[in-house]
A and B are shown apart, each in its own frame.
Chain A
Amino acid sequence: MKYGVVGGIVALSVGVIHLFASQQTTIVLDGSTTVGPLAKAFAEHFMQQHPGVKITVSESGSGNGAKSLINGTCHIATMSRAMKPEEVAAAAEKGVKAVAHVVAIDALPVLVHPSNPLTNLTLAQVKDIYLGKITNWKELGGPDVRIVKISRDTNSGTYECFEELVMKKEKMADDVEYVGSNGAVRQRVMTTPAAIGYAGLAFVDKKVKAISINGVAPCAETARNKTYPIARPLYMYTNGEPPQGSLLEQFVNFYKTAKGREITEAIGFVPVN
């Protein structure tokens, strides 16, 4: 009896809900933890401007974002790397046309503990550290301390970006420690004097030291003019160009508005022109 009633309610509600869901009052974002802070801030401001709109943000990784978009389970995939050819192909197979919107530019500062006297490394040195060829800060003119290498999880767009721009596709040594998010990288570096790590520009503050690469300090300016070597665009992917004037379109283009640019900057990313 109880069963039947519950079943009935479930069936009825599912039907009603699917009716409601077809109206676009909900925007679902899924993807990168790097883009997370930006997406959350955009969402909050957009919801303030448009009461009645519901935006949910998942931070489950760039690949998951792509997956959700292809499966049609999110409206926007936030990604800290471009979609791979296989993903684009898989999307096409399912009739999803992935359209990229570059919403911001992010630099990947290389972080060390503030107690580390080094201020500059070359790209090759960073690579050698992660390859395991340099294992002690002494070899770089620092104190005699074993280097603790922190990396983003291999499942992140941030990792893949670093792998491409710094490691040039070579594999990291196997004693690299992997942590699950940008915040966790910062936390590990902040609490570990011998550490080296990398995270998004938004995650840099006084507690960690972002060192210069090839003599260029990571900041908005150097990321924009591409003098800082480890910078990447951040994406929002949609299924096809969103229809003009729709809420989705407004949200995806929010980064172009003055407010959006201001938020981008305030959070620590570089707005695009």
Chain B
Amino acid sequence: MHLRTRHVLNRAFTGLGYVATSIMAGALLVLLVPIFVRGAGAIVFRGTVEFRRYLFEQEGRGDREAVHNEIAHARAARAPVYAMLAEAEKEIATAPLTRQRELRSALAELRDAIRELLGPDPGQRTPVLLRQQYGQTRWDRALVKLHEVLYTETWDYSDPSGMGRKVYVPRAEAFTGLGVTALFPYVETHLSAMLRPRLTLYWGFLTDDSRDAHFFGGIMPELLGTFYLTVGAMLIAIPLGVLTAIYLAEYAGDNMAVRFLRSCMSTLAGVPSIVFGLFGLAFFINTLHVSHSKSVLAGSLTLALLVLPTVIRASEEAIRAVPHTYREAALSLGASTWRTVCTVVLPAALPGILTGIVISMGRAAGETAPIIFTAAVSVGVPLKLWEVFNHPTPALSWNIYNVSTEHEAVDEIRHVQFGMVCVLVGLVLLLNLTAIMLRARIARKLKG
């Protein structure tokens, strides 16, 4: 090959490496940016007066005076709307009979649309479902609903060879000649007076229970469930894992049994997570009966098995990384192996072990498949500590699946889904950052 070509090729090769690395980093960005940006929307958003009314009435939060004041202002701004609707009713009664039916149904649809936007009409009996008791609590959703008030969505099927096309028809067209047409420009221009959007910081998303199937409220039960499951799994996996690592690093020789153990561990690490789930169901619940049915305990046990190989590997590496001189010094002072391990090796290896533990914690918190059959339910209240042994729990990972596929109104609660994903990913990233920082400290210590 030409020398020059070789050089160009060399450059190109380097470039290829850079391209691959940047694709990887790009993938991470593409993944994280929407999750964090839209996830933050669950906590920071433009909340309407309906949101503050909800908080005050259902959670007892907020200043009574201020909330009432605001509601009164909003009511005043909304009054013309309802007046116009009432007027329309009368007008329709006097309209030609041929048009009356059509007008009535158009008006009923309009009323429905307005109810979705602003909440129940004044004087209407309180609806039973929470989601119908309040108007739009979020300004971004309110704008979507405003569009539904202003326009009807119809489909144009005039082209028989293709699918229909979506056409937005201004709702006002259905009411031509009636006074109620004035309602549409009024709603459009006065929407912010009627809903009074304000930048809201809703930490309750993290600390409140879900209300009305996640239409309102927060994700406390899920968060708590994830916490219990993770901590439970680590409580079981840490002693087992660290003791195993001590055995492998300090006691075990290189014989058949140990080699067999090691190969079992790597097999365990390779078992698909869903198989862990099946095993947890068949073994812990159906055979050992650790609990009556799904429970945090059964889930934790399953997760513990799942993260065990990771804990072992990380701990063993950390223990092996402790310089031999440490051990020799301790042994020469007359300490037994066990004592050496406990007082010298383990403290020295602790940061490394912690790193492994923290990473496994992230893994346990994020796993879904093993807890489907062993611990997770879609609705539940936060558990008390002593209830973890026989109660199932909602958990972040499972409920992300649940609310984004099985929920009856998946696109009404997108912000909750993104919020949950954001919290889970944030949690795991936080754990990993801790691990990275721990490792950096170890590196510095070893250097210095």
Chain A contacts to B: CB under 8 angstroms: 2-3, 6, 10, 13-14, 16-18, 20-21, 26, 28, 30, 33, 36-37, 40-41, 43-45, 47, 54-60, 68, 71-74, 113-117, 143-145, 180-184, 186-187, 193-194, 202-203, 205-207, 259, 262-263, 266-268
Most chain B beta-carbon contacts within 10 A, residue among A18, A71, A143: A143
Residues of A within 8 A of B389 (CB): 10, 13-14, 17
Distance of B297 from chain A, by nearest CB (Å): 8
**Which among A14, A183, A267 is the interface contact of B406 at CB below 8 angstroms?**
A183
Residues of A within 8 A of B391 (CB): 26, 54, 56
Give me the 10 closest cross-chain CB pairs, A-B, nearest first: A73-B293, A117-B157, A181-B406, A57-B379, A115-B164, A56-B380, A115-B163, A58-B377, A262-B128, A37-B408
> Roughly how many angstroms separate A186 CA and B410 CA in the complex, as a whole number?
9
A3 touches B239 (CB 8 A): yes
B128 touches A266 (CB 8 A): yes
Residues of A within 8 A of B235 (CB): 6
Smallest CB-CB separation from B210: which chain A residue?
Answer: A44
**Which among A57, A73, A181 is the interface contact of B294 at CB below 8 angstroms?**
A73
**Which among B153, B377, B386, B410 is the interface contact of A56 at CB below 8 angstroms?**
B377
B447 at the interface (CB under 8 A from A): no
> Roughly how many angstroms separate A13 CA and B283 CA in the complex, as a whole number?
21
Residues of B within 8 A of A268 (CB): 408
Distance of A197 from chain B, by nearest CB (Å): 14
B390 at the interface (CB under 8 A from A): yes
**A-B residue pairs in contact (CB < 8 Å), sample of 18:** A6-B235, A13-B386, A44-B212, A47-B381, A54-B381, A54-B391, A58-B376, A72-B292, A114-B155, A143-B160, A181-B406, A183-B410, A187-B410, A187-B411, A262-B128, A266-B132, A267-B129, A268-B408
**Which among A56, A73, A186 is the interface contact of B292 at CB below 8 angstroms?**
A73
Q: A115-B155, A116-B163, A143-B162 are in contact. Are A57 and B380 (CB under 8 A)?
A: yes
A266 touches B402 (CB 8 A): no
Q: A37-B213, A56-B392, A73-B294 are in contact. Are A184 and B405 (CB under 8 A)?
A: yes
B406 touches A182 (CB 8 A): yes
Q: How large is the interface on B (under 10, 10 to 19, 20 to 34, 35 or more residues)?
A: 35 or more
Distance of A126 from chain B, by nearest CB (Å): 19
Distance of B267 from chain A, by nearest CB (Å): 25
Residues of A within 8 A of B165 (CB): 115
A202 touches B211 (CB 8 A): no
Residues of A within 8 A of B294 (CB): 58, 73
Distance of B294 from chain A, by nearest CB (Å): 7
A181 touches B163 (CB 8 A): no
Residues of B within 8 A of A2 (CB): 239
Other CB < 8 Å A-B pairs besides A59-B378, A193-B163, A266-B127, 18 of them? A13-B386, A13-B389, A14-B389, A21-B390, A37-B408, A40-B213, A41-B213, A56-B392, A57-B378, A57-B380, A114-B153, A114-B155, A115-B166, A117-B157, A145-B162, A184-B406, A263-B128, A266-B132
Smallest CB-CB separation from A137: which chain B residue?
Answer: B163
Smallest CB-CB separation from A179: which chain B residue?
Answer: B405
Distance of A213 from chain B, by nearest CB (Å): 20
B292 touches A21 (CB 8 A): yes
A28 touches B408 (CB 8 A): no
**Which among B155, B160, B161, B379 is the interface contact of A40 at CB below 8 angstroms?**
B379
B160 touches A56 (CB 8 A): no
Distance of A83 from chain B, by nearest CB (Å): 19
Distance of A90 from chain B, by nearest CB (Å): 15
Distance of A201 from chain B, by nearest CB (Å): 11
Smallest CB-CB separation from A57: which chain B residue?
Answer: B379
Number of A-B contacts (CB under 8 A): 136
> Roughly how many angstroms separate A43 CA and B221 CA in the complex, as a whole number?
15
Residues of B within 8 A of A267 (CB): 129, 408
Distance of B1 from chain A, by nearest CB (Å): 51
Q: Among residues 228 to 272 in chain B, which have CB atoms less than 8 Å away from a CB atom of chain A?
A: 235, 239
> Roughly how many angstroms separate A180 CA and B399 CA in the complex, as a whole number?
15
Distance of B253 from chain A, by nearest CB (Å): 25
B121 at the interface (CB under 8 A from A): no
Distance of B147 from chain A, by nearest CB (Å): 12
B196 at the interface (CB under 8 A from A): no
B57 at the interface (CB under 8 A from A): no
> Roughly how many angstroms separate A87 CA and B170 CA in the complex, as a whole number?
55
B328 at the interface (CB under 8 A from A): no
**Which among B161, B211, B377 is the interface contact of A143 at CB below 8 angstroms?**
B161
A36 touches B406 (CB 8 A): yes
> Roughly how many angstroms separate A223 CA and B272 CA in the complex, as a whole number?
44
- B 145-170 to A, binary, CB cutoff 8 A, 1 in contact else 0: 00000000101010111111110000
> Roughly how many angstroms separate A45 CA and B130 CA in the complex, as a whole number?
10
Residues of A within 8 A of B164 (CB): 114-117
Residues of B within 8 A of A17 (CB): 386-387, 389-390
> Roughly how many angstroms separate A45 CA and B211 CA in the complex, as a whole number?
10
Q: Among residues 266 to 313 in chain B, which have CB atoms less than 8 Å away from a CB atom of chain A?
A: 285, 292-294
B392 touches A41 (CB 8 A): no
Distance of A189 from chain B, by nearest CB (Å): 13
Residues of A within 8 A of B163 (CB): 113, 115-117, 143, 145, 193-194
Distance of A138 from chain B, by nearest CB (Å): 9
Residues of A within 8 A of B402 (CB): 59
Residues of B within 8 A of A6 (CB): 235, 239
A41 touches B157 (CB 8 A): no
> Roughly how many angstroms separate A14 CA and B155 CA in the complex, as a whole number?
61
B390 touches A202 (CB 8 A): no
B407 at the interface (CB under 8 A from A): yes
A41 touches B377 (CB 8 A): no
Q: A33-B406, A57-B380 are in contact. Are A263 and B239 (CB under 8 A)?
A: no
Distance of A95 from chain B, by nearest CB (Å): 16
B408 touches A183 (CB 8 A): yes
A180 touches B161 (CB 8 A): no
Residues of B within 8 A of A56 (CB): 377, 379-381, 391-392
Distance of A144 from chain B, by nearest CB (Å): 6
Q: A14-B389, A28-B293, A58-B392 are in contact. Are A183 and B405 (CB under 8 A)?
A: yes
Smallest CB-CB separation from B236: which chain A residue?
Answer: A6
> Roughly how many angstroms separate A145 CA and B162 CA in the complex, as a whole number?
8
Residues of A within 8 A of B410 (CB): 183, 186-187
> Roughly how many angstroms separate A180 CA and B166 CA in the complex, as a whole number?
28
Smallest CB-CB separation from B132: which chain A residue?
Answer: A266
Most chain A beta-carbon contacts within 10 A, residue among B212, B376, B410: B410
> Roughly how many angstroms separate A266 CA and B128 CA in the complex, as a whole number?
8
Residues of A within 8 A of B211 (CB): 44
